[in-house]
Amino acid sequence: MASTQKFDFFATTAKGMEDLLLEELKGLGAQSVLKGKAGVSFQGPLETGYRACLWSRIANRILLPLKTFPASDPDRLYGGVRSIHWTDHLSEKNTLAVDFSVSHSQITHSHYAALKVKDAIVDQFRSVKGSRPSVSPRRPDVQVNVYLHNDEATVSLDLSGESLHRRGYRQELSPAPLKENLAAALLMTAGWTSREDQSSDLALLDPMCGSGTLAIEAALIAGNIAPGLGRDYFGFLGWAGHDAGLWSKLKEEAQEKILFKPGLVRKRSPKIIGYDQDFRAIRVALSNLERVNFPGLRVGAGGGLLRGHVHFEKRDLSECEAPSEKGIFIVNPPYGERLGDVEALKPLYKQLGDTLKQKFQGWEGYIFTGNPDLAKTIGLKASRRSVFFNGSIECRLLKYELYESSREIRVLKV
């Protein structure tokens, strides 16, 4: 397929992150960008789809829709899938997998429906080629995505292959970690950006960093590092329409745009700090940080692309101090759904509010929580509340603006 051909794409994301994804895709050159439910549709040449896979910090998957058709029963589903020219997308020597999701339709059994889709594809190959591709549930050459809604099926190729939140650096986890793209969404909502002239007196501090996801994602943003550079698998790599030359060019361009070079810490790099009272969490965070290194990266060698750009340290919340006059204080404390009793967590939330009031004047504070009752114990008035979903849990990113006036610390109210 010619790289100048225009395609329709659909980028999926978690509920509540659609607006961020829409603006991100516009910045990547996407055309006809339109927000939908849990995702954004857009158009462009194949290069645009590749850029989204490489650069999107917000998307889960980048889909290339092939066909939409009525599918009120298994036979119609089978027929619609078989009508697609699958030899344009893979060969009998390739592996494939089918991901099927369904809502508000007469077909309700997603596993059975996925088998019907697989049968339609391999039956076409047997008829045309005399042999068939094999099924591989893990990292197949071609990942087929089918979404059935109101008895209408949309069949797509999953260009991402597996969720884009998997950057490749996080091998060890702390309890209840944030997904990488949710962490990036929180940071972008907080106004954390990538600027070559970003002042060194601006800092970002996570006082309960766990496995370090917020701090590492902050460094990827500040360093203008494409999150997809750390991945060794995409769904388009085994696709018959893949343009290997184009993909290599885009990766080289991304490497050139990195502001952080191995062994060279910019004098005006922002301070990015993660504290945690648990030494095991700090060990995991440091291990994850060292994994941010991209195979074949031409700008340097060795582990730890972010070495020197992120500081992790065992430190109790009571010992946290502002490292600069201004910055972003951002934290994802436990909120009782999975980690502990709500009553037991109230002193922690009060301590977070007290810490902001007493030690972070001039900063912006952000607390991410899925428990409104706990949020009330912070003792500050939020100037903004942004809704996100951490899995199925509806959460709020609460913003607190504090400044010093006379001898009092007051919270800006809107």
Residue for token pair 């080629």: 129
pTM of the model: 0.91
Q: Identify the pLDDT of residue 2.
A: 44
Question: Which helix (H) or strand (E) element contains residue 222?
Answer: helix 213-222
Q: Identify the pLDDT of residue 343.
A: 87
pLDDT lower than 70: segments of the chain: 1-3, 172-176, 195-201, 262-268, 295-303, 337-340, 404-414
Q: Among positive and negative, which fits the CA dihedral 163, 272, 185, 264?
A: negative
What's the CA gap between 55 and 57, in Å, rounded? 6
Local structure of 179: helix, strand or coil: coil
Q: Identify the pLDDT of residue 97.
A: 97
Local structure of 207: helix, strand or coil: coil
- Number of helical H runs and strand E runs in the chain: 10, 16
What angle is formed at CA 280 by the lines to CA 278 and CA 285, rounded to 5 degrees?
100
Q: In the chain, what's the furthest Cα-to-Cα distance?
A: 83
Closest of 62, 63, 6, 11 to residue 40, by C-alpha: 11
CA distances (Å), origin 374, targets 159, 192, 326, 369, 396: 40, 26, 26, 8, 12
On whether the CB atoms of residues 62 and 150 are closer than 8 A, the answer is no
Q: Identify the pLDDT of residue 297.
A: 58
How many residues does this entry show for the chain? 414
Q: Identify the pLDDT of residue 404.
A: 62
Q: Identify the pLDDT of residue 296.
A: 56
What's the CA gap between 103 and 393, in Å, rounded? 20
Burial 357-380 (b: 16+ CB within 10 A, else e): beebbebbbbbbbbbeebbebbeb
On whether the CB atoms of residues 30 and 404 are closer than 8 A, the answer is no
Kindly provide the residue ranges of all beta strands, DSSP E only, lying in 267-359, ordered along the sequence. 271-276, 311-314, 326-331
Structure tokens at 1: 């397929």
